[in-house]
Structures are given as C-alpha cells and as structure tokens.
Structure 1
Amino acid sequence: MSTIKESVEIARRPEDVYAYLVDPAHMGEWQESVVSVRPTDDLPPHVGSRTVVTRRVNRREITMTTQVDAMDPPRSITSHGLDGPVRPHFAALIEPLDNGERSRVTLSLDFETHGMGKVLTPLVVRPGARKELPRNEQRLKELLEHGA
C-alpha cells in the first residue's frame, strides 16, 4: 500500500511550525484521534525520544510507543511506532515559503503491520488515517495561524 501524504500551507515561519510539531504536549490539540500523550524521556524531544500515545480507533483505545528517528530543525522530523500490531511511520517536512514568512507542511504516514494488523490496517486503520490526516492538517493550520 502507498504512503498517505497531505500538504497544507501555514502563515507561520518554519521555526514556529517545527517547534509546535515536535512538542508531544501539542499532539492532542491537532490530531483528532489522540486521547493521551506521555513522553517517557526528558524534553525537549531528541533523536531516540519515546512517547506513549493512546489513540481512539473506531470505538477502541489503542496505546503504543513511538520513537523519534531523525530531526532536522526546522525542516523535518520522522518517527515510528515500536510496538503493537500496527506501527505507524510518520514524517513531517516543513518548507519555507515567501522568504521564510510562511510554510508548506507535508505530513506522510505509513504503517508496518504484524499479526492482526495485517487484516486491520487495510480495512480500518488506513481508511481512517486517509480521512483524518487532512482534517489534522487543517486543525494544525488553524491553531498556528490563530495564536498557538
């Protein structure tokens, strides 16, 4: 299956967008399926940082641990899930626009599956993520352009 990818333009500097995106405390503000987030490492986030994230998928709450794989401030961050039957691979790319006064944010999401995840991902997880990702980007835009 292919990677789910969406882009949005935000009227904020790349540094502002990056700082907001990498802070796990903000995940639940702009990602609608997030129920709770708990960093397991000292902040600020760094390569190797882990975060325990609980998401609502349909009517179930699923908890997983994610780890930051790479950070290139203020341009990109990648992370992946470490456990569970469905392990997300997430990437955010932030490109400067208008001499760095605005940003284009491209979010990419794919999944590694194990066990029951091989059945759940094409039927439930991937369709849900395809619907949620554009809404999450619009929420991110709203928050960042109106005072976050």
Structure 2
Amino acid sequence: MAHAENETTISRSPEDVYAFLADGLNNPKWRSGIQHITLKSGSPGALGTVYSQTLTGPGGRPIAGDYEITTADPGQRLCFQVVAGPARPSGEYHLSAAPGGTKVRFTLDLQPKGLMKIAGPMIARTMQTEVAQLTNLKSVLEAA
C-alpha cells in the first residue's frame, strides 16, 4: 500500500478550515495540478457529494480525478475516495483544535492493483507531493 501524510497548524478555527476544505471548488486555490473542477452532484461538504476534476498527469496530459466525499464530520474529519482516473486513492483530513488555530493532518492511501503496482514509486512520490501542499492551504487560509 502507498501511504503519504503531512500535518500543519493553521491559524483559523476548525470550522473555518473544514468549510474551506469541504467545498472542493476551493481546491485550485491551494492545490497545484488542478486544471478544472466542478460540483457534479450533492452539496459542498455533504456526504456523497461528487466533484468532477481534471488533473495534470504525467507529461502534462489531463487525467480524470473525480472524487466522492465519504465522511463529513464538520470541524473534525473529511474523507474522500477518488472514483475516476488511473489512480484511486482514499484521503482524509483530520482536524483538531490547537493553540491559536487548527492542526490539520492530511493522509492519502492507495492499494495499487495490476499494472499500477509497477508505477508504485512514482505514485508514492505524487502522493507525497500532494500532501505537502498543506503549506499552500495554510498560506491561503491565513491570508484570508
């Protein structure tokens, strides 16, 4: 299994951080590599909501990365499952109150199957890059 994890503390309340993360339309503000994202079904932050997104893949080619919210616990936990595209990791944002703000832990997990196993090291690097973008989230939310 490929696993990536990162953590940061943001000088905003857990409710503010959750609300920003739960609305996938905010993703381009802090995650590089998103070419396009739309709300496909549901309401921002609601269980079962699906976002359709196009990501920049290897060689700059567009790849699908649609995801569904699988856990919605406002101010505490937001989980998702990628439901389209070549790699389909699950992810979790775990939020907890910290002195002066919110501690955010972002994890991604993927169980590669078939030919995906060959690309394991590249997938692991991509996942590490993705969770490292928490520093961008911190910058965006603290500037607001």
Q: CA deviation at 1:43?
A: 2.5
User: Which whole-Å deviations, capped at 9, do the CAs of 1:83-140 have from their partners, x for residues lacking one?
Assistant: 3331010100011012xx40000000012334432322x1322112213421x11100
TM-score, scaled relative to structure 2: 0.90
- Read off the aligned partner of 2:89 and give its amino acid letter: P
Give the number of equivalent residue pairs: 143
Listed as ranges, the gaps of 5+ residues in structure 2 are none
- Contact 2:69–2:80 under 8 Å retained in 1: yes
Q: Distance in 2 between the 1:106 and 1:32 partners?
A: 19
Is 1:34 the counterpart of 2:34 in the alignment?
A: yes
Q: Secondary structure at the match of 1:70?
A: strand
Q: 1:57 to 1:125 in 2, by over 3 A?
A: farther
Is 1:84 the counterpart of 2:82 in the alignment?
A: no
Q: Distance in 2 between the 1:55 and 1:2 partners?
A: 19
Q: 1:115 to 1:85 in 2, by over 3 A?
A: farther
TM-score, scaled relative to structure 1: 0.88
In structure 1, the partner of 2:112 is 113
Q: Distance in 2 between the 1:83 and 1:42 partners?
A: 17
User: Which whole-Å deviations, capped at 9, do the CAs of 1:51-92 have from their partners, x for residues lacking one?
Assistant: 111111232221132111111111011010123331010100
Listed as ranges, the gaps of 5+ residues in structure 1 are none
Task: Give the percent of matched residue pairs that are identical in Structure 1 and Structure 2.
Answer: 23
Matches within 5 A, 1:35-114: 35-59=35-59, 60-98=61-99, 101-114=100-113
- Contact 1:66–1:82 under 8 Å retained in 2: yes
Runs of 4+ in 1 over 6 A off after TM superposition: none
Q: Secondary structure at the match of 1:86?
A: coil
- Contact 1:18–1:75 under 8 Å retained in 2: yes
